[in-house]
Amino acid sequence: MCQECGCGSGGGDVKIGAHTHEQEHHHHGHEHGHEHSHEHHDHTHGKQTLNLNRSLMEKNALLAERNRGFFHAKKLLVLNVVSSPGSGKTTFIRETAAKLGASLRVGVIVGDLATDNDAARLRTAGIPVVQITTGTVCHLDADMISKAAAQLDLDKLDVLVIENVGNLVCPADYDLGEDLRVVLLSVTEGEDKPLKYPPMFHSANVAIVTKNDMATAAGFNRDLALANLNRVSHHAHIFELSAKTGDGMKAWLDYLTKQHAAVNGK
Chain positions contacting other proteins, by CB under 8 A = 3-4, 6, 27, 31, 34, 38, 41, 43, 45-57, 169, 172-173, 198-199, 202, 231-232, 234-235
Supply the DSSP string of 107-141, one letter for each residue: EEEEEESS-SHHHHHHHHTT--EEEEE-TT-SS--
Cβ-based nearer residue to other proteins, 25 or 156? 25
Smallest distance, other proteins to C-beta of residue 213, A: 30
Pairing of strands 206-210, 180-186: parallel
Cβ-based nearer residue to other proteins, 127 or 232? 232
Q: From 54, 78, 55, 56, select the one nearest 66 (Cα to Cα).
A: 78
d(CA 50, CA 48): 7
Smallest distance, other proteins to C-beta of residue 47, A: 5
d(CA 31, CA 206): 40
Smallest distance, other proteins to C-beta of residue 3, A: 6
Cβ-based nearer residue to other proteins, 42 or 155? 42
Cβ-based nearer residue to other proteins, 122 or 236? 236
Smallest distance, other proteins to C-beta of residue 197, A: 10
AA letter at 144: M
Smallest distance, other proteins to C-beta of residue 241, A: 24
Count of beta carbons in the 10 Å neighbourhood of residue 56: 7
Cβ-based nearer residue to other proteins, 53 or 216? 53
Three-point CA angle 66, 72, 1, nearest 5°? 35
